[in-house]
Amino acid sequence: MGTALVYHEDMMATRLLWDDPECKIESPERLAAALGCLRQCGLEQRCLHVAAREASEAELSLVHSPEYVDLVRRTQTLGTEELQALSGQYDAVYFHPSTFHCARLAAGAALQLVDAVLTGTAHNGLALVRPPGHHSQRAAANGFCVFNNVAIAAEHAKRKHGLCRILVVDWDIHHGQGIQYIFEDDPSVLYFSWHRYEHGRFWPFLPESDADTVGQGQGRGFTINLPWNQVGMTNADYLAAFLHVLLPVAFEFDPELVLVSAGFDSVVGDPEGQMQATPECFAHLTQLLQVLAGGRVCAVLEGGYHLESLAQSVCMTVRALLGDPTPALSGPMAPCQSALESIQNVRGAQAPHWKSLQQQDVSPGLGPSIHFPEERPLLLLPGNPVYKAEPLPRLLLDQKHHYSVPPVRMAVALTAPHSTSALPPDVLCQQSAPKWETEAWAKSHESLAQDETLTALGKFLYLLSRVLDGQVSSGVASTLASAVAATLDVAIWQGLSRGAERVLCVVLGQLDRPLDLADDGRILWLNIGGKEAAIFSMYHVSMPLPRTTGGFLSCILGVVLPMAYGFRPDLVLVALGPDHGLQAPQAALLAAMLRAPAGGRVLALLEESAPQLAQALAQGLCGEAPPSLGPFSTASRVDLQALMGLRAQLQWRWEMVRVAAPEPTRGAPCSRSLERPETSAPPGNFPAAAPALPPSASVNDR
């Protein structure tokens, strides 16, 4: 089972036959550019090829009126002048004698993709199509769109495959009002769209594109609009939208299928969108979506008019669908003021419909369970932040970072033989670090001196070296329970001395932070489910492990991932300590989601008597979709208060934690990131991502 690529060259046939500056950007070269890039990057060869077919009339009428389908059919025999006259009856549309054929292929491609994924032929996939679909309506072409490819595919998934919950994620920069209208009263299709809006001054100029449109009747809460009121939105703004709006609701909705209206006019360089997000961001967005619906993600091309931008973004999306680790993201990891206002508005509008968004109703003051240790008092209060945003990490290097994918995606170094039986043998890591090296490390820790723990440490160190030198992307290792803390300590130092600049430690349960660990910003220590909820420093934070699914997700989406994205770790160490309380599905989800901000470099460490957890972590790190966490249960008031209290403090340093714009009247600092946007980059001039690790020479000198 792999990634399906659905395509047919006939879809290059339709093109504009007269002069129309608005429509000329929707050109056949768009498909050629996307396909060419996929070939050049060796990605096309890794996909399962599925030929597009024409959608039948019956399939088109799942969404469109028979009269409209007839009308489009009759365009096949019209002359240029008649085509132009008919096109003029719609907003931003052109017809060509091949339009009917192409548009039926486009809809049929989406159907083929959904069938391949729902019958198990493919895991996920992308349909490269034109004309696009999301503006098209029951009886109207609109915005270059003729038939609504994604809406037809969603309706087909309901009727032919019996699905009850389909999530449509529309990341095109225009509002897919066609999809919104078709499903506005349908609770089985959750439609999420972000779009350039500028308070209604951007095409298609509709009041119903605003955040307060939530759907109608039974479908209330199943339309989610996130309008961008300024141009220049960045990777941070898009990620914040996913972490704080889309993903909480999506987990609560629990879709059986994710359809993406994958337009790439939301990428830097695009003349329509005027946004600043880079192609790499779309690998992240795609990877984040893959934790839903058992990984059944079907992306269907919509817009995208800057050929280079489009092509690179399509490649990033396919990379993520294939399971490759995500490339580093460039730019400041802080959402801008305008984006935060939009996020706040849509959360407010949707809160009556989604329990996962209701936590903002809890007062943002300090909850009773938050504890500030007395010996290291914390001086952070809203409106009185002592932490200034630090100088930004190395950004925008002159050269584009050439990242390579490690040959091994995941390896395990488990000590107890019985614990490996459920894993495929090819992931088992048999080698060990040199004896002298292992023994040298063990000298500093009593708990590592036994034979058993020494053997485990040797295997672990070997695995860590392979992660650091880029041979292995991620791993799971085990040792005796008594040696987890010391092994983690060794891993931190080894990581820092072998080239990682920032190490994120996600520590579950009762595992104390080593006392001699410097608090210099190179290590971020997140303790989940430790003794208390506390902020010891901006790099040492402790929070409860909520027992409810809602609480757990709030913790991961609302705190852990935003901090991880803000920190930009080169390496993530996940350690399961005593009383960690983590269930296997939670472990799988945590592992799968931590891959994204870490470029896939995640090493998990646990005690050897927990083979189910080791397996869950291994599956998550492989990119397998985690199993369902079970029915959504609202976070407890105590958990919410603790998380809210933490977030209120953390947001001054970790701006990705924010879900609302700071109130300017309270003297909050306007960090420079809130003062965006600036003008967009010249087309084709992409900001480059910083390399995640220094050149391999310095990592390899063992």
Q: Which listed range, 140-148, 177-185, 318-326, 598-606, lies at the site for ligand X5A (CB under 6 A)?
A: 140-148
Question: Near ligand X5A by CB under 6 A, which window of 141-149, 187-195, 571-579, 676-684?
Answer: 141-149
> 131-170 mask for Zn ion (x: CB under 5 A)?
----------------------------------------
State the CB neighbour count (10 A cutoff) for residue 363: 11
Size of the site for ligand X5A (CB under 6 A): 14
Reduced to 3 states, what is the DSSP secondary structure of residue 651? coil
Rounded-to-integer distance, Cα 130 and Cα 273, Å: 19
Question: For the purposes of burial, counting CB atoms within 10 Å of the CB of 72, is it exposed (0-12), middle (13-18) or buried (19 or more)?
Answer: buried
Binding residue (CB under 5 A) for Zn ion from 176, 215, 294, 303: 303
CB of 273 to ligand X5A, least distance (A): 9
Closer of 174 and 296 to Zn ion (Cβ):
174
Question: Distance between CA atoms of 631 and 553, rounded to whole angstroms?
Answer: 12
- Residue pair 371/533 in contact (Cβ under 8 Å)? The answer is yes
Interface with Zn ion (CB under 5 A), residue total 5
Q: How far is the CB of 347 from Zn ion (least distance, A)?
A: 24
Of the pair 252, 265, the CB lying nearest Zn ion is at 265
DSSP 515: T
Residue with tokens 């209206």: 261
For ligand X5A, the closer of residues 132 and 551 by Cβ is 132
**Which of 8, 134, 135, 306 is labelled catalytic?**
135
Among 90, 94, 144, 441, binds ligand X5A (CB under 6 A): 144
CA distances from 56 to 64, 86, 162, 369, 601 (A): 12, 23, 19, 60, 46
CB of residue 236 to ligand X5A, shortest distance in Å? 23
Is 22 exposed, middle or buried (CB count within 10 Å of its CB: 0-12, 13-18, 19+)? middle
Q: DSSP characters for 299-327?
A: EEE-----HHHHHHHHHHHHHHHHTPPPP
DSSP code of 137? B
DSSP 241-286: HIIIIIHHHHHHH--SEEEEEE--TTSTT-TTT-----HHHHHHHH
- Minimum CB distance to ligand X5A, residue 351 (Å): 30
Query: Rounded to whole angstroms, how far apart are CA atoms 562 and 556?
Result: 8
- In the shown chain, the binding pattern of residues 344 to 373 toward Zn ion, with x for contact by CB under 5 A and - for none, equals ------------------------------
Q: Which of residues 280-339 bind ligand X5A (CB under 6 A)?
A: 302-303
Stretch that binds ligand X5A, among 56-64, 138-146, 431-439, 603-611 (CB under 6 A): 138-146
Positions of E strands within 371-435:
408-413
Helix, strand, coil shares, percent, the chain, to 5:
40, 15, 45
Catalytic residue at 135?
Answer: yes
Q: Tell me, what amino acid is at 87?
A: S
Residue 191 to residue 169: CA distance in whole angstroms = 6
Binding positions for ligand X5A, 441-460, rule CB under 6 A: none
Q: Which CB sits closer to ligand X5A, 301 or 477?
A: 301
Site string for ligand X5A, 241-280 (x = CB under 6 A): ----------------------x-x---------------
Nearer to ligand X5A, 101 or 174 (CB): 174
Residue 203 interacts with ligand X5A (CB under 6 A)? yes
- The correct pick among 44, 54, 115, 172 for binding ligand X5A (CB under 6 A) is 172
Q: Which stretch binds ligand X5A (CB under 6 A): 137-145, 241-249, 429-437, 503-511?
A: 137-145
φ, ψ of residue 506 in degrees (nearest 5):
-105, 110
Q: Which of residues 246-285 bind Zn ion (CB under 5 A)?
A: 263, 265
Site residues for ligand X5A per CB under 6 A? 22, 92, 132, 135, 143-145, 172, 174, 203, 263, 265, 302-303
Q: Which residues does the annotation mark as catalytic? A: 135
Site residues for Zn ion per CB under 5 A? 172, 174, 263, 265, 303
